[in-house]
């Protein structure tokens, strides 16, 4: 614990905290004096199976270091079980101050091959999960006129990526959800921000490593440890960030970025209105210089992690 803990007295729920980014955030929150609900159903990366071990193990790790934590294995993807996650915080520690929506699964597939089940499974955990846990905490935040949400988005949604229509749609949806929460709840002193994390965890452990170039790339990615995400998450959860609301950050190794949000970049108008023909002859050529390319996350973040 720090000399003057930033989160003393605060109660934090971290979903998907049995490993990876969530685990490091839970540990860091506890080090700064927070009481932590470590939520994880203990499923595979694809969301299959369940195991109480990971959540309990992280809770034990926090307790062993002198912190306070309880484990919870409820699913974020249904309203009733998500309510139990928040209920665990209130029962164990008497209140809730911070929700970190980190739980996630992957079912990567090229769009023309993606099944409805693969779409549903990912949307349920990421987008529905972020909604359900946030919604369960909202009445508590409103009542006490304080509270903070930290949601995990992704450059797969903010920029784009191959084979992740389900994940990308959910992650961009989370950015919009966060903004809506910030707008609707600012009058109650409630804040909502997003982090787009770059980290080498089991969710990207499936990257191919067959060629020397691929192996070298994975070694570079491994520098981006999940622990690098935690300091921003802790700071956003603290009163030191009380003026920070409705923002989208990205963290990549030792870099922190503020991400843009969609705004008009260029416009054209005709006094007499448009026809399909004049759109083709005038509007599209005039706007073309400002078109966005078919970029993927790796094209935008094209330098090695620093």
pLDDT score, position 204? 58
What mean pLDDT do residues 12-25 have?
A: 97
Check pLDDT > 70 for residue 2.
no
Check pLDDT > 70 for residue 271.
yes
pLDDT score, position 225? 87
| Structural contact between residues 160 and 168, judged by C-beta atoms closer than 8 angstroms | yes
Question: pLDDT digits over 283-301, tens only?
Answer: 999 999 999 999 999 889 8
Question: pLDDT digits over 180-193, tens only?
Answer: 999 999 999 999 99
Through-space distance between the first and last CA atoms of the chain, rounded to whole angstroms: 28
Catalytic residues: 167
pLDDT score, position 201? 61
More reliable by pLDDT, 219 or 196: 196
Q: What global pTM score does this model have?
A: 0.93
pLDDT score, position 221? 72
Report the distance separating Cα 33 and Cα 258, nearest Å. 27
Check pLDDT > 80 for residue 248.
yes
The pLDDT-based confidence of 242 (bands split at 50, 70, 90) is very high
Question: pLDDT digits over 142-164, tens only?
Answer: 999 999 999 999 999 999 999 99
Question: pLDDT digits over 112-153, tens only?
Answer: 999 999 999 999 999 999 999 999 999 999 999 999 999 999
More reliable by pLDDT, 259 or 216: 259
- For the chain, the average pLDDT equals 94
Pairing between strand 248-252 and 190-198?
parallel
Q: What is the DSSP letter of 305?
A: P
Check pLDDT > 80 for residue 20.
yes
Check pLDDT > 70 for residue 216.
yes
pLDDT score, position 209? 73
pLDDT score, position 224? 83
Q: List, as one string, the DSSP characters of 185-236.
A: HGGGTEEEEEEEEE--STTSTTS---SHHHHHHHHHHTTS-GGGTHHHHHHH
Q: List, as one string, the DSSP characters of 136-196.
A: HHHHHHHHHT-EEEEEE--HHHHT--TTBHHHHHHHHHHHHHHHHHHHHHGGGTEEEEEEE
Report the distance separating Cα 214 and Cα 304, nearest Å. 13
Question: pLDDT digits over 58-111, tens only?
Answer: 999 999 999 999 999 999 999 999 999 999 999 999 999 999 999 999 999 999
Check pLDDT > 90 for residue 305.
no
Check pLDDT > 60 for residue 38.
yes
pLDDT score, position 105? 95
More reliable by pLDDT, 280 or 48: 280
Q: Compute how many other C-beta atoms are within 10 angstroms of the C-beta atom of residue 76.
A: 28
What mean pLDDT do residues 237-261 have?
A: 97
User: What residues does each domain of the chain span?
Assistant: 11-261, 266-306
pLDDT score, position 223? 81
Check pLDDT > 80 for residue 57.
yes
More reliable by pLDDT, 228 or 50: 228
pLDDT score, position 215? 79
pLDDT score, position 207? 63
Superfamily of domain 11-261: NAD(P)-binding Rossmann-like Domain (3.40.50.720)
């Amino acid at each position: 614990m720090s000399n003057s803990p930033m989160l003393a007295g605060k109660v934090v729920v971290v979903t998907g905290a049995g490993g990876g980014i969530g685990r490091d955030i839970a540990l860091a929150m506890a080090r700064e004096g927070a009481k932590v609900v470590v939520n994880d159903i203990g499923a595979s990366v694809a969301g299959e199976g369940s195991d109480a071990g990971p959540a309990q193990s992280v809770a034990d790790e926090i307790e062993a270091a002198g912190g306070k934590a309880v484990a919870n294995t409820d699913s974020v993807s249904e309203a009733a079980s998500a309510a139990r996650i928040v209920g665990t915080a209130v029962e164990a520690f008497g209140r809730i101050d911070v929700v970190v929506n980190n739980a996630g699964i992957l079912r990567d597939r090229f769009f023309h091959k993606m099944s409805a089940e693969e779409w549903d499974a990912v949307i349920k955990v990421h987008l529905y999960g972020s909604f359900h846990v946030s919604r369960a905490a909202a009445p508590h935040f409103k009542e006490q006129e304080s509270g903070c949400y930290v949601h995990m988005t992704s450059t797969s949604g903010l920029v784009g990526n191959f084979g992740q229509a389900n994940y990308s749609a959910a992650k961009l949806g989370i950015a919009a959800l966060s903004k809506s929460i910030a707008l609707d709840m600012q009058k109650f002193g409630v804040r909502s921000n997003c982090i787009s994390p770059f980290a080498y965890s089991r969710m990207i452990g499936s990257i191919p490593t067959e060629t020397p170039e691929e192996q070298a790339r994975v070694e570079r990615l491994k520098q981006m440890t999940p622990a690098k995400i935690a300091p921003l998450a802790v700071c956003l959860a603290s009163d030191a960030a009380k003026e920070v609301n409705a923002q989208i950050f990205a963290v990549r190794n030792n870099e922190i970025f503020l991400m843009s949000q969609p705004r008009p970049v260029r416009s054209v108008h005709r006094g007499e209105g448009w026809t399909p023909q004049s759109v083709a002859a005038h509007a599209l050529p005039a706007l073309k210089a400002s078109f966005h390319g078919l970029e993927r996350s790796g094209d935008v973040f094209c330098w090695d992690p620093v």
